[in-house]
Every structure is written in C-alpha cells, then in structure tokens.
Amino acid sequence: MVFKTVPTNRHFSNKLFKTFLSINFDKNRDAYHELRSFIRQPVAEWHEGAYLPDDLIDQREDIHYRLNKDEPAISDNPTKEDFEKFAAHQTEIMKTDVWKEWTEWIAESKKLIKNYPRLEEETEISNYIIKFYQSGRNIFEISSFLIELLKNTDVGNIRFKDFVLPYDNIYFHFGGLSDIEYPVECYELRNGIQNELGNKTFLLDGAFVTLIERGAIDILLCFKDKADNFDSKVNITNDYRFPTIKFSLDFGKFDSDKVETVYSPETTFNQSTVVFDDIWEDKGNSGELSYQKMHEAIRTPDKCYHYEWKEYVLMDSALKLLVNCICFLNSTDKDVDLTTTNTQATELIKELSKTSKTIEKAKISDKLKKFSYSKIHFLGNSLKNYLTDLKSGNEVDPHWRRGHWRNQPFGAGLNQTKLIWIKPTIVRKDKGDPNGGHIYEV
C-alpha cells in the first residue's frame, strides 16, 4: 500500500496532514521548509534550503543590491539585443570587487550547510502524499496481467495532449516489480553511504504522478525492500528504508529565435526531455537529457558512467510503463473496478453510482464526508482471459508482437481523437513462454 512509503504510523502523522493539507507547496516555498522541519525534529545543523542566520542574510541583501543596482531592465517581450546587453553587463559585473564579495559570501554560507539526503527524501514524499490527499486520495492498482501487456506496448508517438489525468495527483501501485530495481550502489552514492547497505534489493512498488502546468509530468518513484518496514523509528542518519527517485518529463522545446521554451500539445513522448538530479556529481546539480538521447545511451553503456547508465535504464523502464498506464486510463479499453480502504465508504460509492436523483446524491455525498478513505481503482482485471486466449501464429519460436497506441479520429468533422490500444500478442504461445517476457499463470 502507498502509505508504507512514509512514516504514517508516527505519532504526529495526523497532525502533519491537518497542518499542511490546505497548503500549495508549489507557490509557497516557505511552507516546504516548514514541512522539512516538521518531518524530523530536531535537526540541529543547517541543511540545504533552510534559513540562514540574520547577519548573513543582511550581508546577502546588501551585496545583491550593489550587484543589481545598475542592471539593465528587461522588458516583458525582450529582444535578442536585450539579452545580449544583459549578458554583457553580467560579464562586466563578474570582474568587480562586489562579485568577489559575493563569491566569498557563498563560500562562508556553505560552511554552515549540511545536506541530509534522507531528510530531503522524506520531505519530498510527504509533500507528494499531502498533494495526494488534496486530490482525493486515488490509488490505481495495476494488475500483473495489465503490467505484462503494457511493458510490450510502444509509446513513442503519444502526444502531450494525450496525457490526461483524472485527478491532479494520483498513485500507481505495482506491488514490487522484480525487473525494475533501484541499483543499491546508486542509492548509496546518492546518500553518501557507499558499501553500507549490503544485499538489499529495492524494487519499484509504485509512483506518484502529477500533471503540472506548461506541459510537464512530475514523477516520484517509490521503491521497497520487502525485508524493511517503518515499525521502528530510526535516526535520520541511519534510516535508508523505502528509497525514492524524483524526475520530470518535460514536453517543451527551446526556441532559439524567441529565446524561450515553447510548449506544444502535439509534442510526442519521443521528443520530450527528462529532467533529473545527477547523483554521480558531487554537487547534485539538476540535469536534463532528451528522452531519445537517454534511450540511445542505454544501448551504449561503455559511453556512460557506470552509475549514470544504471539510472538511465531505471528511468527509461519506469517512464515507458507509466506513460502506458496513463494512456490506458484514457483509452477505450479501460476497465476499472472501484473500491475503497473503508467498507462503508465503498458501499456508499456503489449507491452513488446507481442513483440519478440530485437530492439522493447529495445525501450520500454528505455521508461519505464522514469517512476517511482512499479510493482504489483496480485496472486490468478483465485481461486475465486475454493472456490465455492469445492465438498461435506461424511455425516460429514464441515471442511477443509488440502493441501500440493509435489515435482514432471521431466526432463532427473527425476533429477529435480517442486512444485505441492495439494490444501486444504472443506468436506461437503453444510452444511455450517467449524469451522476451514472463507469462503469468492465470
């Protein structure tokens, strides 16, 4: 279940949701710092993103004022010449004594900063779970049958406008995928604990997905080691259970003439950009790579850093599965069984779906508000028979014939489209399992 990825059994979990449930973290960064402080108290040392002492802040404001007082103004619609003038000014500023003061200030402030990767990770996942609560607590449980089919379905030509989420934030639950694993050495490197985790195995358990403004999808992958749990409280410096990895899929393209990123709903998955944290860099700087380049790099591991290549493989596998899951939610083949984590709420939701009377719906809705529950959407249960009924082909070895998505025009003037899933199939299933994938027993 999703809540195994965060410390929800801690004594302050209910207070956490009550305190932060109404906050928009995307627009209120101060609230994010407050959430971090709330998650793990006390953390005595300064950590990245926390407030600095007042005297250092005063110094920073004074230096900023002197750095920027003669900065050329940038209009709302800057021209190429405006940017060139601004760049020339920046070049000159970097030769001044004020710039030297600024570099010294940065060096001084960094002495106070100690980053706790696990603290940042817990804060991030708590942030996502709060968004999950704000969006109605919807879990999409993907059946093993559906996962197998989606892994053998191509998504390259899916456009951004095909990515429609039923809620602002949802959680896809897979249940521990043995073939999508977070490499332990990558996790150790990210947390600065090389060679400390031994033989742990972190399998992909699920993912929070958020469709954000201006053409991007935010993703937080959640992993688990079945041997771990949150039943015991562990000190922040020793707690490395249930790791996560965050990245975004951006559908914008940089326009060199306009000197800005342009977003088009027609941009395809193959044309998108993956934005992530470079764990193999000491500074942990954010990096970005076109999806096509990342996918090509997977085929040439000798041209990548060892850790770099492993994370590329991980993100590529997870991305293709998640994109397929989103497509499935928008396809004509969608089959969903809805239940909840509360038996009484489930019965009320069934009643709600059966009535068309406005007054009756209002009464049932009022009753539902009294319960705390998450909605669980079971996807792909009706596909059990599909895997057993796949037809045999010619006299060849058994193998998958990959599926794909097709945009089917419909409506007046055929100016609308709907996603049609051309499912993968197994050629010569009667001769055994294909080498490219496991066939689940049904």
Taking only the tens place, the pLDDT of each residue in 381-417 is 777 666 655 544 444 455 677 888 888 877 676 677 7
Residue 24 is predicted with a pLDDT of 86
> Lowest-pLDDT range, 42-46, 302-306, 350-354, 360-364?
42-46
Mean pLDDT on 135-150: 89
pLDDT in tens, 282-312: 455 567 889 999 999 999 988 887 778 888 9
- Is 323 within 8 Å of 155 (Cβ atoms)? yes
pLDDT in tens, 86-120: 888 888 888 999 999 999 998 888 887 777 778 88
Looking at the predicted structure, is the pLDDT value of residue 202 above 90? yes
Residue 6 is predicted with a pLDDT of 45
Looking at the predicted structure, is the pLDDT value of residue 204 above 90? yes
Higher local confidence (pLDDT), 311 or 433: 311
User: Cα(339)–Cα(333) distance, rounded to whole angstroms?
Assistant: 20
- Is 339 within 8 Å of 189 (Cβ atoms)? no
> Lowest-pLDDT range, 257-261, 314-318, 405-409?
257-261
DSSP bridge partners of 406: 420
Residue 4 is predicted with a pLDDT of 42
User: Cα(312)–Cα(278) distance, rounded to whole angstroms?
Assistant: 11
Mean pLDDT on 233-245: 80
pLDDT in tens, 72-81: 777 777 788 8
- ∠ at Cα 16 (12, 18), nearest 5°? 115
User: Cα(225)–Cα(181) distance, rounded to whole angstroms?
Assistant: 10
What count of other Cβ atoms lies within 10 Å of the Cβ of residue 159?
16
Q: How confident is the model at residue 9 (pLDDT cuts 50, 70, 90)?
A: very low
Residue 342 is predicted with a pLDDT of 85
Q: How confident is the model at residue 218 (pLDDT cuts 50, 70, 90)?
A: very high
Residue 285 is predicted with a pLDDT of 57
Higher local confidence (pLDDT), 350 or 415: 350
Residue 436 is predicted with a pLDDT of 43
Residue 7 is predicted with a pLDDT of 44
Which range, 144-153, 257-266, 315-324, has the best average confidence (pLDDT)? 315-324
Q: How confident is the model at residue 265 (pLDDT cuts 50, 70, 90)?
A: confident
Higher local confidence (pLDDT), 285 or 177: 177
- ∠ at Cα 217 (212, 221), nearest 5°? 120
Looking at the predicted structure, is the pLDDT value of residue 179 above 60? yes
Looking at the predicted structure, is the pLDDT value of residue 435 above 60? no
Mean pLDDT on 161-182: 90
Task: Please count the residues of the chain.
Answer: 442
What is the residue type of 322? L
User: Cα(296)–Cα(309) distance, rounded to whole angstroms?
Assistant: 11
Question: Whole-number mean pLDDT of the chain?
Answer: 80
Residue 76: CA atoms inside 13 Å, Cβ hemisphere, count? 0
What is the share, in percent, of the chain residues with pLDDT greater than 70? 83
Residue 392 is predicted with a pLDDT of 44
Residue 357 is predicted with a pLDDT of 85
Residue 174 is predicted with a pLDDT of 93
